[in-house]
Structure 1
Amino acid sequence: MPGNKTRAFAVLWGGQLLSLAGSSAASFALGLTVYAETGSTAALALITAVSTLGSIYLAPVCGAVADHMSRRTAALVGNLGAGAVALLLAWVAALGAGRHLPVVLCLVLAGSLLAAMLSVTLAASVRELRGEADLTRVNGITSFLEGIPTFSGPLLGALVHSQFTPSLVFLLDGLTFFACAAAVAAVRWQGRPRATGRPLRPFAGAAGGVRRILADPGFRQLQLTFAGVNFLNGLSVASATAFVVAASSAGAASWNLAAVGVAAAAGLLLGSTVVVVLARRVPRQGLIGGAVMGAGLLGRIGLAATTAPVVWFAASAARSACAQVANAPLTAIWQERVPSDIQATVFGARRLLGQGPYPLAVLLGGVLADAVGSAGLMVFTGVGELLLGAFLLASSRVRELSRSARGPELVGG
């Protein structure tokens, strides 16, 4: 049985690596295609907004649906559905994505819902397949796998889009999902049984997941703190871009922005590696709080403190690395302390509560940056993250949650 679970874990996350590369390439190509055919920045913003609706605001509903199935069935449904959406996008791209924007938006929404379902299913499967043995380190490994496509995806999308046809990118994306589904179908593991005798009520289940988090003092404190972290991050996203562009020498802005993006992708892999190395050496609370403080100090204040591009690249890499260092032990806490049969639902609710403020903060940050300046807003948000990180380090409730759960599953409330 352990061998079956190890093989299933490798198949699930190996397939995730493949499908994420395809999805990253497809997302890049979709933006290029729509903008080339419409010339409208508003159309690109609309695609992003619709995607956010599914991936963040409807994530609890997707989790409730996933919890109604076995993890294996949910992974199959998610991959097959996402593959079908990708093939439909290939067809629409061949007809002209810009001329059929409403159809594209519907497909983007469907794809984001299926992606959210897959994401919470995979996160919930970690504990089922790996037990409770060093989940922080295991999440570091999965984060590393998820970070690899941030390099390869855009490069693949740009290559296929420029040398062939945009439809081919979406076709390849669909094939990667179908390949993942075939791999999942080929493995067997004895996991959590499918929910039987319980009616499927996704919206009621989603509301229950939110209530469960808010009813537990420790989880409520943790989630509200990270809602603040994500809000501050959203406030400064536009400022970071504007600062790099404005402070760049003539003709270097686009190259500097590209290098900052590559550095951020490298930081994701670096942070995952750091987690794997430190998981057994540093307490979870230290990793989480220290990483939040590091992101604020290095990634925001450090970026705003100089006009030297090499420092910007280092700051971007450091911020992404800190995000990964915080995320792995944080995910391990939820995996250990939430019952297996509702993990996808609770993970979806966690995404809503934690990331829900982010899109609104991005809009607000653009207005504030014009009023106080990009550098000033980044320093403000960096100081805010330093304070929230210090709070996480000092919190007794976070300390209690951070202790590895041994024995009965704990939810509290």
Structure 2
Amino acid sequence: MGRSFGFLWSSTALSNLADGVLKVGAPLLAVSMTRSPTLVSLVGAAATVPWLLLALPAGAVADRVDRRRVMVLANAGRAVALSVAGLAALLGLLDLWVLLAALLLAGVAEVFADTSAQSILPMTVPREQLTRANGRVSTAQMIGNDFVGAPVAGLLVVALPAVVVGAPALLYGAAGLLLLGMRGTYRMNAPRAQGRTLRRDIGEALRYLWSHRVLRSLAVTAGLLNLANSAYFAVFVLWAVGDGSRIGLEPDEYGLMTTAFAAGAVLGSLLSGRAAGRFGELRTLVGAWLVNSLLLIVPVIVPSPWTLYPAAVLWGVSGGAGNVLVISARQRLIPAELLGRVNSAYRLVGMGGMPLGAALGGVVAEFAGLGAVLVGATGVCLFGVGLVWRALSDRISRPLTSAPALSDISGSR
């Protein structure tokens, strides 16, 4: 893996460290402002609703322009939005609505940055090294998101709340600067018909995704899993943190829980390729999703730190392995000239329900209690895993093939 991948990996590490501080720090800041499940759940919704609105245009942009340039500009945008929020915190002007606005703007930039990042990676490594490269990227993501960023966020909320949004701003800015070290151009050179519209590009991607049985099944299942997990974790902080919670963690202990998750995720990311080689990619992926879903019920049945931390490690192992395998599968199955658009169409289906899930989790918790949300989310996840197993039962043990042409996709039905 060459110089360009090294800069991409380093940028990913910094941007995901920023993500980790925000992922834990923003809900903890919100809890310090309100104990309303509905209002706290808006933090998760603000960070994810841009995927619902902008995933398809972001994919089309990634296939039209230099993907590195998109990532640089997106990181700069995140840095500016969070810098303003950090300044507001220093001046004593940060409230829940200012926090939500900053997270929403950062989420808009994230859609463009992440879509281009997954599309640019196959341009930096040979196809046969995709799973290995994605394993390294996923490891950097997990270390930044959870192993380092999460406990740091727990400490910052107590010590200096302004840094919870200010530090990620600096990290996103540095991540954008690192991308400038990548050599060459990262724009697709495939010829386009004159007068081709953005709408036509998006339509082509949607048709490809819906006609490809494996990608379609994975996208629908990912959508159910993400919707349910968003509902679950939008209110889980109320189940886990504070004097009135069932588990009774302190904010810094909640950060340690996500550190335990990250430790498992690093292991899962590194072992995913070996497991896929032994058991098959689809079988390993579906198995990882099943284990991850079953583990959601553990903190509900036994709400104790002694069971939560081991469960978090296993969450990480199964989640990390599943993430690497599903990204590698998409990069292998989607043609290079369609990768940005089909990736974004997949993520619209897979992630578009996340803001709805986060908001729904808050509303249901308000009226039916936190336990109803956690149990219901577990049931939805298990249903989704059963759905993909049934849909792909004849493909589970077969290796994934390279991307077919759009004209040949009917053969994948």
Q: 1:66 aligns with which of 26, 37, 62?
A: 62
Aligned to 1:349: 345
Q: Is 1:285 aligned to 2:286, yes or no? A: no
CA offsets 1:232-278 (integer angstroms, 9 cap, x no match): 445655786677689x9999522586654443233222211221443
Is the Cα–Cα contact under 8 Å of residues 235 and 370 in structure 2 kept in the other structure? no
CA offsets 1:99-140 (integer angstroms, 9 cap, x no match): 6935x5444322111111111111112211112114223222
1:326-345 alignment runs, 5 A limit: 326-345=322-341
Amino acid at match of 1:391: R
Q: 2:89 aligns with which of 85, 90, 93?
A: 93
1:25-174 alignment runs, 5 A limit: 25-26=21-22, 28-31=24-27, 36=32, 43-98=39-94, 101=97, 104-149=99-144, 150-160=146-156, 162-164=158-160, 166=162, 168-174=163-169
Aligned CA RMSD, in angstroms, stands at 3.9
CA distance in 2, matches of 1:138, 1:173: 25
CA distance in 2, matches of 1:45, 1:375: 14
CA distance in 2, matches of 1:156, 1:308: 23
CA distance in 1, matches of 2:39, 2:371: 29
Structure 1 residues 386 and 201: CA distance shift in structure 2, 3 A? closer
CA distance in 1, matches of 2:330, 2:408: 9
Aligned length: 403
Amino acid at match of 2:173: F
Is the Cα–Cα contact under 8 Å of residues 275 and 328 in structure 1 kept in the other structure? yes
Is the Cα–Cα contact under 8 Å of residues 29 and 161 in structure 2 kept in the other structure? no
Aligned to 2:182: 187
Is the Cα–Cα contact under 8 Å of residues 209 and 216 in structure 2 kept in the other structure? yes
Aligned to 1:20: 16
Is the Cα–Cα contact under 8 Å of residues 333 and 404 in structure 2 kept in the other structure? no
CA distance in 1, matches of 2:22, 2:370: 36
Q: What is the SS of the residue equivalent to 1:188?
A: coil
Q: Percent sequence identity over matched residues?
A: 21
Structure 1 residues 79 and 407: CA distance shift in structure 2, 3 A? same
Shift of 1:8: 0.8
Q: 1:264 aligns with which of 261, 265, 272?
A: 261
More off after superposition, 144-153 vs 86-95: 86-95
Query: Structure 1: where are the runs of 5+ without partners?
Result: none
Q: What is the SS of the residue equivalent to 2:124?
A: helix
Query: Structure 2: where are the runs of 5+ without partners?
Result: none
Q: Is 1:253 aligned to 2:251, yes or no? A: no
Shift of 1:144: 0.7
Amino acid at match of 1:75: M
Is the Cα–Cα contact under 8 Å of residues 192 and 341 in structure 1 kept in the other structure? no
Aligned to 2:383: 384
Relative to the length of structure 2, the TM-score reads 0.80
CA distance in 1, matches of 2:371, 2:21: 36
More off after superposition, 301-310 vs 124-133: 301-310
Q: What is the SS of the residue equivalent to 1:391?
A: helix
CA distance in 2, matches of 1:88, 1:226: 34
1:370-381 alignment runs, 5 A limit: 370=369, 373=372, 377=376, 380-381=379-380
Shift of 1:17: 0.7
Structure 1 residues 303 and 371: CA distance shift in structure 2, 3 A? closer
Amino acid at match of 2:9: W
Q: Is 1:315 aligned to 2:311, yes or no? A: yes
Q: 1:275 aligns with which of 269, 272, 291?
A: 272
CA distance in 2, matches of 1:113, 1:412: 32
CA distance in 1, matches of 2:327, 2:340: 12
CA distance in 2, matches of 1:161, 1:37: 12
Is the Cα–Cα contact under 8 Å of residues 269 and 320 in structure 2 kept in the other structure? yes
Q: What is the SS of the residue equivalent to 2:65?
A: coil
CA distance in 1, matches of 2:142, 2:335: 28
CA distance in 2, matches of 1:199, 1:147: 42
Structure 1 residues 373 and 59: CA distance shift in structure 2, 3 A? closer
More off after superposition, 139-148 vs 333-342: 333-342
Aligned to 2:393: 394
Q: 2:171 aligns with which of 176, 198, 203?
A: 176
Relative to the length of structure 1, the TM-score reads 0.80
Structure 1 residues 94 and 312: CA distance shift in structure 2, 3 A? closer
Structure 1 residues 407 and 303: CA distance shift in structure 2, 3 A? same
CA distance in 1, matches of 2:324, 2:390: 19
CA distance in 1, matches of 2:96, 2:306: 42
Shift of 1:327: 1.9
Shift of 1:290: 1.4
CA distance in 1, matches of 2:254, 2:180: 42
Amino acid at match of 2:181: A
